[in-house]
C-alpha cells in the first residue's frame, strides 16, 4: 500500500472487498454470453480472482490455508518454521493425547476406519450409542444423536424440524450453519441485533401470532467476538412467547463452567430449560462431527427423519472413540478447563493493558484484536507469522470492514510467556 494515493488505495480496497452477493450470482438472470458452460464465468469465481489479483498487487501473501507440518496445538510448525499457534480450536489440548489416540486406534482395530453407510440401514456400532449416552449425561437430557459434521448438524436439524409456517429468529452473529438450516427449512427468518434481548422480545411480540412454531437460535460463546448471551433472559423470553430455544455450544463445551460443561454450568441454568443443545466434536472433543441433545421426541424425530442422519454415513469409529475419550478426560481433569480459563483471562487483560482493541471479548477461548481494515489484518497476520506467531485474520465479508481483525484462539496448552511475547510483538507492529 505504501506509495499509493488515497484514491488508488480505496479503489483497490473496494475491489478487494468484492460484491456482497453469494453463490453463483443472484439478482437478474444473466443473458447467455457464450455457448460453453464455464465455471470461470461464475461471479463466485471472479470474486476470488479479483481478491487474488488485488492481494498480488498489494504484495500481501495469502494468509489462508497455511500448511501445518505437525500436530497443531499451542505451537505448530508451518512451512518449516516453529511458531506459537493461535488458530486452533483444540481448547484443552486433547488432540494427540495418548489416551485419545489409543481409543481411536482400538476402535479401528475392532471396527475398521468406516461404518460405510447410514446407521439406520447398515446398523451401528456400540461406540455410537456409548458416545451419545455420554453426551446426553453431560446435558442431563433423555438422549442425544451424533452427525458426521457440526455444520451439517445445524443444517439438517433446523431444516428438518421447521417449515414454511414457522419462524426462525437468530442472533445477528449466529454461525453460517444455522443460517443455512433456517434457509433450508423454508421458515420465515428474522435476526435480532447481537445479544439485544429487548429487540428479540419486540420481534416476537410482533410476529408470534402470525406463525405456527418459533425457534430462537443463539450461541453459548460467539466465536468472532468471544462474548456470551444472557441465557436467563433468553429462557424467560422463549417461555413467554411459547418458542423453542436452541443453543449452539460449539465454542462453549470444555470452555465455560468450572467443569467445562458449557453455558448451563457457567450461568447456573437447569439444562432442561433449553430445548435443543447443539455442539461440535471438532473443537474440545478433538474429533469431528456434531451432536444434538434433548428429549426423546426430539432425538427420535432426528434419528428417523433428519436427512443428514438418515441419508448420511454414521460417525467413523475412530472419530466416535476419540470424542468419547476426550469427554472422559474432560470429566476427569477439570484442571485443564481452569488452565484454559486462566490463559483466556490473562490474554484479555494483557491485551487491554497494551491498548489493543479487544471488542466485547469476555476473555475465554477467543479474543479478537480489532484492526479496522482487511488489508491491515492480512498484513499483520503475515508479519506475525514472520515473527513466529500464527494467528488468522478475519476480513470482510466475514465481518464488516471496520471490524476486520486478528482472531486469537487460546488453549490450555499456551504458557503465560507465549501470550506475553505474542502481545508484545503485536503491540510493536501496531
Cell numbers for 407, please give them. Answer: 482472531
By CB under 6 A, the count of residues binding ligand PLP is 14
Identify which of 383, 401, 346 has the alpha carbon closest to the alpha carbon of residue 13: 401
Contact 375, 58 (CB under 8 A): yes
Please tell me whether residue 219 binds ligand PLP under the rule CB under 6 A.
yes
In the complex with ligand PLP, the residue whose CB is nearer, 187 or 246, is: 246
Output the smallest distance, CB 174 to ligand PLP, in A: 8
Percentage helix, strand, coil for the chain under 3-state DSSP, each rounded to 5:
45, 15, 40
In the complex with ligand PLP, the residue whose CB is nearer, 319 or 375, is: 319
Cα distances (angstroms) measured from residue 31 to each of 28, 34, 35, 178, 420: 9, 9, 11, 33, 57
How many other CB atoms sit within 10 Å of the CB of residue 383?
A: 14
Among 88, 157, 282, 361, binds ligand PLP (CB under 6 A): 282
Output the smallest distance, CB 251 to ligand PLP, in A: 6
In the complex with ligand PLP, the residue whose CB is nearer, 143 or 171, is: 171
How many other CB atoms sit within 10 Å of the CB of residue 30?
A: 10
Per-residue interface string for the shown chain with ligand PLP, residues 137-176, x marking contact by CB under 6 A? ------------xxx--x--------------------x-
In the complex with ligand PLP, the residue whose CB is nearer, 154 or 343, is: 154
Output the smallest distance, CB 226 to ligand PLP, in A: 12
Q: Which helix (H) or strand (E) holds 143?
A: strand 143-147
Contact 247, 218 (CB under 8 A): yes
Task: State the residue number with the nearest CB to ligand PLP.
Answer: 150
Please tell me whether residue 195 binds ligand PLP under the rule CB under 6 A.
no
Cα distances (angstroms) measured from residue 368 to each of 243, 249, 313, 395: 33, 19, 36, 12
Cα distances (angstroms) measured from residue 62 to each of 224, 268, 385, 391: 20, 43, 12, 13
In the complex with ligand PLP, the residue whose CB is nearer, 16 or 244, is: 244
Output the smallest distance, CB 409 to ligand PLP, in A: 11
Please tell me whether residue 312 binds ligand PLP under the rule CB under 6 A.
no
- Give the max Cα distance, the chain: 65
Contacts of residue 386, defined as CB under 8 A and 6 or more positions apart, other chains included, come to none
Report CA torsion sign: 133, 134, 137, 138: negative
392-394 sheet: strands from edge to edge? 366-370, 405-409, 392-394
Output the smallest distance, CB 250 to ligand PLP, in A: 3
Q: Name 84's bridge partners.
A: 75, 389
Contacts of residue 222, defined as CB under 8 A and 6 or more positions apart, other chains included, come to 171, 173, 194, 228, 251
Per-residue interface string for the shown chain with ligand PLP, residues 237-276, x marking contact by CB under 6 A? -----------x-xx-------------------------
In the complex with ligand PLP, the residue whose CB is nearer, 238 or 283, is: 283
In the complex with ligand PLP, the residue whose CB is nearer, 223 or 373, is: 223
Among 75, 223, 287, 361, binds ligand PLP (CB under 6 A): 223
Output the smallest distance, CB 420 to ligand PLP, in A: 28
In the complex with ligand PLP, the residue whose CB is nearer, 16 or 277, is: 277
Output the smallest distance, CB 149 to ligand PLP, in A: 5
Question: Cα separation of 162 and 169, whole Å?
Answer: 12
In the complex with ligand PLP, the residue whose CB is nearer, 174 or 423, is: 174
Among 280, 326, 390, 411, binds ligand PLP (CB under 6 A): 280
User: H helices within 85-175, ranges in order?
Assistant: 98-111, 119-122, 126-139, 150-161
Among 146, 177, 379, 392, binds ligand PLP (CB under 6 A): 177
In the complex with ligand PLP, the residue whose CB is nearer, 229 or 373, is: 229
The contact set with ligand PLP (CB under 6 A) reads 149-151, 154, 175, 177, 219, 223, 248, 250-251, 280, 282, 290
Amino acid at each position: 500500500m505504501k506509495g499509493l494515493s488515497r484514491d488508488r488505495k480505496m479503489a483497490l480496497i473496494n475491489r478487494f472487498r468484492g460484491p456482497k452477493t453469494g453463490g453463483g450470482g443472484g439478482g437478474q438472470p444473466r443473458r447467455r454470453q457464450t455457448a460453453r458452460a464455464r465455471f470461470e464465468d461464475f461471479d463466485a469465481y471472479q470474486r476470488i480472482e479479483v481478491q487474488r489479483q488485488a492481494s498480488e498487487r498489494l504484495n500481501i501473501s495469502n494468509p489462508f490455508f497455511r500448511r501445518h507440518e505437525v500436530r497443531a496445538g499451542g505451537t505448530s510448525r508451518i512451512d518449516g518454521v516453529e511458531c506459537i499457534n493461535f488458530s486452533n480450536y483444540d481448547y484443552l489440548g486433547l488432540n494427540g493425547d495418548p489416551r485419545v489416540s489409543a481409543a481411536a486406534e482400538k476402535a479401528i482395530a475392532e471396527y475398521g476406519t468406516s461404518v460405510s453407510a447410514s446407521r439406520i440401514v447398515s446398523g451401528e456400532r456400540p461406540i455410537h450409542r456409548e458416545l451419545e449416552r455420554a453426551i446426553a449425561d453431560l446435558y442431563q437430557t433423555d438422549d442425544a444423536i451424533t452427525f458426521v459434521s457440526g455444520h451439517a448438524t445445524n443444517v439438517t436439524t433446523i431444516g428438518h424440524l421447521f417449515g414454511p409456517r414457522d419462524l426462525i429468529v437468530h442472533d445477528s452473529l449466529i454461525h453460517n450453519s444455522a443460517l443455512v438450516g433456517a434457509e433450508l427449512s423454508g421458515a420465515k427468518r428474522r435476526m435480532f441485533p447481537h445479544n439485544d434481548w429487548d429487540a428479540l422480545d419486540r420481534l416476537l411480540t410482533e410476529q408470534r401470532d402470525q406463525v405456527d412454531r418459533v425457534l430462537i437460535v443463539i450461541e453459548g460463546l460467539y466465536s468472532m467476538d468471544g462474548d456470551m448471551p444472557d441465557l436467563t433472559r433468553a429462557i424467560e423470553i422463549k417461555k413467554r412467547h411459547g418458542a423453542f430455544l436452541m443453543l449452539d455450544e460449539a465454542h462453549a463445551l470444555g470452555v465455560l463452567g468450572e467443569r467445562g460443561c458449557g453455558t448451563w454450568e457457567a450461568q447456573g441454568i437447569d439444562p432442561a430449560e433449553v430445548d435443543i443443545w447443539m455442539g461440535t466434536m471438532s473443537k474440545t472433543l478433538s474429533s469431528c462431527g456434531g451432536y444434538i441433545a434433548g428429549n426423546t421426541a426430539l432425538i427420535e424425530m432426528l434419528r428417523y427423519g433428519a436427512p443428514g442422519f438418515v441419508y448420511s454415513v454414521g460417525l467413523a469409529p475412530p472419530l466416535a472413540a476419540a470424542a468419547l475419550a476426550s469427554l472422559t478426560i474432560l470429566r476427569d481433569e477439570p484442571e485443564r478447563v481452569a488452565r484454559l480459563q486462566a490463559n483466556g483471562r490473562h490474554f484479555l487483560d494483557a491485551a487491554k493493558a497494551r491498548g489493543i482493541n479487544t471488542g466485547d471479548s469476555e476473555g475465554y477461548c477467543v479474543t479478537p484484536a480489532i484492526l479496522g481494515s482487511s488489508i491491515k489484518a492480512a498484513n499483520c497476520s503475515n508479519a506475525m507469522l514472520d515473527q513466529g506467531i500464527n494467528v488468522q485474520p478475519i476480513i470482510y465479508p466475514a465481518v464488516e470492514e471496520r471490524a476486520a481483525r486478528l482472531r486469537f484462539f487460546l488453549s490450555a496448552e499456551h504458557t503465560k510467556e507465549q501470550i506475553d511475547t505474542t502481545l508484545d510483538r503485536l503491540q510493536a507492529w501496531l
